[in-house]
Structure 1
Amino acid sequence: MKLSIIILNYNAAAFLELCIYSVLRATRNIDAEVIVADNNSTDSSLQMLHFVFRDQVQVIAHEENYGFSKGNNLAVAQAKGEFICILNPDTIVGEEVFEECLSFARRPELVEGKAQPQLGFLGTQLIDGTGKFLPESKRHIPTPKVARQKMLGNDRNYYYKEVGQNDRGKVDILVGAFMFCKKEVYEDCGGFDERYFMYGEDIDLSYTALQKGYKNYYLGDQKVIHFKGESTIKDKIYLERFYGAMGLFYEKYFKQSALEKKAIDLMIKGMVAVKPKQKLANKAKELNYLYLVTEDKDLDLPLKIERVKHAEVWDCPFGDSTFLWDIKTLTIQEIIGFMVQTEDLKHRFLSPNRDFYIGSDSSASRGEIKYV
């Protein structure tokens, strides 16, 4: 088998459904398997997998929430593919992304002109639900100095700006929402360090690959929608895990004096204490006018909408309108192409069964699920 796509899910049933649908379309011409590992969700995730994707995906139902690292490691152990892709459930992938990753993995020297570099991990350009580029798609190694600058609002040395947003090139750190590699590379690097429950494990694994002599690459011409935060409530526990992961990373890889360690610990405690006092935008915005973009002339929804074809979307008044995309009759590539050229508009994605739609208007807030 050529490719195994690993999706670790926790309480993200609606987003997971569209993610799997996009993955199945993107692997039509690939000898691939889709493995969904569920971290003991309490929503309808397992029921949805049974009734919607029975016999199309392999489901691993964990008896407890193992966290991101262990949950993925257990799934990868059962993967049969030569290559694997770690994929978040709150993503939607284009039809060509896996074929492009496989093609690049065969000839990475075309980027640098060097003979057969040791390929580590591949990442893509991630965009949020409005089409806006997510800069964490490519990052530098977050040394203690770089991280301190980032926490103080200076991200000049944090994000990898030497490679253009839409270009291909070698980078240091990729994001766990989409990490593609040979399975043997994943195993050689030890997989995700299970001391990280959530957050930081992608930084750790990317850095481990670099230490072992592998090269990590970013494919900026391949775009993946990442709604972000659908499995996460940003409370104090989240903040402790997020900043605690940073502390673990520094303790593991960077020798520190007692004074430096104390300074980092104090900064982490300070960030955990201060952040919960800030208001997080968790409430979805009210949608105004809905434009249903579809090629299905018979599609009828119980919504106040105006129907348009894909070729007509550029004629719509943008303003405060929302585009409702029928992914059953349109390609994800077409939708993404429109999103990145008109970023900051509102978008919703209609499920293939046309019974609900999802979307997000900010990378800092949880997305919206509305049943039709």
Structure 2
Amino acid sequence: MDLSILIVNYNTCQLTVDCLRSVFDSETDFNYEVIVIDNNSSDDSVETIGAEFPQVKLIANKNNTGFAKANNQGMEAAEGRYVLLLNSDTVIPKDTLHIMITFMDEQPKAGASGCKIILPDGSLDKACKRGFPTPSASFYYAFGFSKLFPDNPRFNQYQLGHLDPDQAYPVDCLVGAFMLVRREVLETVGGLDETFFMYGEDIDWCYRIKQAGWDIHYYPKTTVVHYKGGSARRRPYKIIYEFHRAMIVFHRKHYRKHYNVLTNSLIYMGVGLKFVMALLKSRLVRPKSVIDPKETCVEVGM
């Protein structure tokens, strides 16, 4: 088996079906398997996916284990020499799998790679190529310096906005929406850290992959569409909490020992302030009264 594709589903039935259709439309000479891990969805995801895609290995959890643990379950069942983390709210072109596996075969030092990811409006999903969120990189990003000085490398350490998104180059980290990882990496680094529920686990994984001596590459010779936030929009407060908790977890794990008590305290206070501001903002934004039809199979008669 050349490739194991892991897709975590949580109440995104139609998005996942669309993603799977794009996967099985792929044109490649490589052998691949698809493993879907359902995190106790309350919609008809398990029944629909099982009926339309009998070739899929379907793991149906009895509770929502989170993104990291669910992917680790998939990795345990995976047989491929590469593992691809693929979000349920993505659609891939027919040649994506072939292009990315060929690239990895030609780059034996590459532990992981990702392609160019765009949003439905055609804009770049900036998370697809990033630097590590060091305190300075996070500060410049959080307070808007990267937008004020888009061509300055110093102020664009996190999202790397000064680098051409149509050129290939090594990066610090990719996004878990599309992340191709070599089997040897799993054997030496291990899987995702389950301390992270649904944010930060991809950055942490990339950090450990680079620490182990592997390269990480951004390779924009193929483009994936990311509808982004399909399952997240259903529980906004939980999402906001997990997003900010992930910042604290990552800093404590990798950076805390490099800074004094005062600096660490200021960082935690900054994250706390952003958390409060995000909560207040979410209360001011009126929620959608109509469910997006792309998120339910019932809407299309399935």
TM-score (norm 2): 0.88
Does 1:259 pair with 2:262?
Answer: yes
Larger relative contact order (Cα-Cα within 8 Å, sequence gap ≥ 6) = 2
Q: How many angstroms does 1:236 deviate by? A: 2.5
In structure 2, the residue matched to 1:133 is: 124
Cα distance in structure 1, aligned partners of 2:44 and 2:27? 25
Distance 1:142 1:162, change over 3 A: same
> What stretches of structure 1 move > 3 A for 4+ residues in a row?
279-285, 369-372
Residues 244-255 of structure 1 aligned to structure 2 (within 5 Å): 244-254=245-255, 255=257
Cα distance in structure 1, aligned partners of 2:39 and 2:119? 24
In structure 2, the residue matched to 1:295 is: none
Cα distance in structure 2, aligned partners of 1:188 and 1:160? 28
Q: Which structure 2 segments of 5+ residues have no match?
A: 147-155
> Which of 127, 135, 142 matches 1:144?
135
In structure 1, the residue matched to 2:100 is: 101
Q: Which structure is larger by alpha-carbon Rg, 1 or 2?
A: 1
In structure 2, the residue matched to 1:273 is: 276
Residues 174-323 of structure 1 aligned to structure 2 (within 5 Å): 174-233=174-233, 235-254=236-255, 255=257, 256-278=259-281, 279-280=284-285, 283=288
- Structure holding more strand per residue: 1
Cα RMSD for the two superposed structures: 2.3
Distance 1:284 1:151, change over 3 A: farther
Identity of aligned residues (%): 32
- Structure holding more helix per residue: 2
Cα distance in structure 1, aligned partners of 2:127 and 2:213? 22
TM-score (norm 1): 0.72
Does 1:68 pair with 2:59?
Answer: no
Cα distance in structure 2, aligned partners of 1:124 and 1:280? 33
Matched residue pairs, number? 286
Aligned residues of 2:99 and 2:221 also touching (Cα < 8 A): no
Residues 168-179 of structure 1 aligned to structure 2 (within 5 Å): 168-179=168-179
* Residue aligned with 2:145, SS: coil
In structure 2, the residue matched to 1:88 is: 87
Q: Deviations over 1:22-81 (max 9, x none)?
A: 011115643111000111111111011122112x21101111111111110011111011
Q: Deviations over 1:193-231 (max 9, x none)?
A: 111011000000111111111100011121000000001
In structure 2, the residue matched to 1:40 is: 40
Q: How many angstroms does 1:170 deviate by? A: 0.9
Q: Deviations over 1:163-198 (max 9, x none)?
A: 421121111110000000212213322211111011
> Which of 95, 117, 121 matches 2:112?
121
In structure 2, the residue matched to 1:317 is: none
Cα distance in structure 2, aligned partners of 1:187 and 1:66? 23
Q: Deviations over 1:300-352 (max 9, x none)?
A: xxxxxxxxxxxxxxxxxxxxxxxxxxxxxxxxxxxxxxxxxxxxxxxxxxxxx
In structure 2, the residue matched to 1:344 is: none
Q: How many angstroms does 1:160 deviate by? A: 2.2
